[in-house]
A and B are shown apart, each in its own frame.
Chain A
Amino acid sequence: MNYEQYPLREQLAGAYVVGTLRGRARIRFERSCTASQSLRVAVRRWEDQLMPLLRDLVPVTPSARVWERISQRTKSGTAAAGRRAPWRWALAGALALSLLVYVSIRSIYPPYQVVAALGQDKVHPVWNVSRSEDSHSLSIRALQHVESNPQLAYELWALPRNGKPPVSLGLLPRSGSIKRALTTSQQAALLNSDHLAVSLEPSGGSPTGSPTGPVLMVGDVRAPS
């Protein structure tokens, strides 16, 4: 579908802002917005023009616990990035080493198949995601060096086709490639998904278990050959 043409673009942007665009169509539209300036402009225009409909709201004071939770969630994010205990690095190093040993044993065989290429468009993928034949592990390769604020991270999600919430498949590398064993629930989610998505999250990944930042890209999952 060509979202760029005027009447369709305005219909979709309007339906997105009003909220009648739902489900998959909503996700598809969000994905198109990340790549299209004219769609983003159309959305902003609707947002601005419809905002007077919120004028008759009668303010309601939230419970004190709401700010307490926000404060915890926002402070812990910045503090953790600043002073991470040295032992955690050591642990991460050991883990990487054991993963490397595991992977080099496995790499005698060619067990990985490409599952999805993720990027702003199909011509310039940023990450290639592959899975092992037994679906027990993922291999992710950054095809370009990915610039980012050190306080932010890119997180990979499986979007199950049964409408269940996204399942995290872990953080994406900024360069090079990584291999990662999948838990049983991640394996199931990947097998039941037609799409993978990338969201922008605080360093260390989403604190809630669901995407909290903007969804930057969505890619189709290729069926195993």
Chain B
Amino acid sequence: MSMPEPDNAELERLLARCARQEHRALEELYKALSPLLLALLLRMLRSKELAEDALQDVFVGVWRQAGQFDAQRGRALAWITSIARYRAIDMQRGRKHWVGLEAAAESAAPPARTESTLTQRALQRCLSLLTGDQRHCLVLAYQQGLTQDEIAVSMGHPLGTVKSWVRRGLSSLRECLGS
């Protein structure tokens, strides 16, 4: 991420305080994460209004569910970004096809910057073992929130082909990343 990555231990402390209904902790969490989460939501929802609505729901959800966060070390950021991504996917339900699918396809790229942690290096190595089409499908779905129908339109391939790329991409990734 282009800003200093939030420290998971600090996020966990803030979540524990949110679980105790300390409103000040929610505010600190919001300051630390909202610019990052808004960027994520904008990329998936492509409307500032929708993305800001989703952002609200995410923090209200985090506030209410903080007590259910089981503090597995190092997971706080993954937990919160997942809440945001799933919220965006739910908000996409029933929408029409996006305009500007081609622009979305062009901007989707595998992570290019120099990786530092073990997880990042592992993912980059495993993504590089996929075919270009498989990688492209998974990255479009994950980063841009495109459905398989939308990926098929944006890549100009039949839906069945896209589904099989996604399926094979996921199983190769699982095999490579280990379980």
Q: Point out residues on A near B: beta carbons under 8 Å.
A: 6-7, 10-11, 14-15, 17-20, 22-23, 26, 44-45, 47-63, 65-67, 69-71, 73-75, 77-78, 149, 151-152, 163-164, 200-202, 207-208, 212-214
- Whether A66 and B56, one on each chain, are in contact in the complex, defined by CB atoms closer than 8 angstroms, is yes
A51-B77, A54-B143 are contacts. A214–B65 as well, Cβ < 8 Å?
A: yes
Chain A residues in 8 Å Cβ range of B117: 52
- Whether B119 and A48, one on each chain, are in contact in the complex, defined by CB atoms closer than 8 angstroms, is yes
CA–CA, A152 and B68, complex, Å: 12
Chain B residues in 8 Å Cβ range of A208: 57
- Whether A17 and B82, one on each chain, are in contact in the complex, defined by CB atoms closer than 8 angstroms, is yes
Q: How far is the CB of A207 from chain B (nearest CB, A)?
A: 8
Check B174 for interface membership: any CB of A closer than 8 A: yes
Of A47, A50, A59, the contact of B39 (CB 8 Å cutoff): A59
Chain B residues in 8 Å Cβ range of A53: 110-111, 123, 139, 142-143
Q: Which interface residue of B27, B61, B64, B145 has the most chain A CB atoms within 10 A?
A: B64
| Number of B residues, CB within 8 Å of A | 68
Q: Point out residues on B near A: beta carbons under 8 Å.
A: 1-3, 5, 21, 23, 26-27, 30, 34-36, 38-40, 42-43, 52, 55-57, 59-61, 63-65, 67-68, 72, 75, 77-79, 81-82, 85, 89, 93-94, 109-113, 115, 117, 119-120, 122-124, 138-139, 141-143, 145, 147-148, 166-167, 170-171, 173-174, 177, 179
Closest chain A residue to B126 by CB distance?
A49
CA–CA, A62 and B145, complex, Å: 20
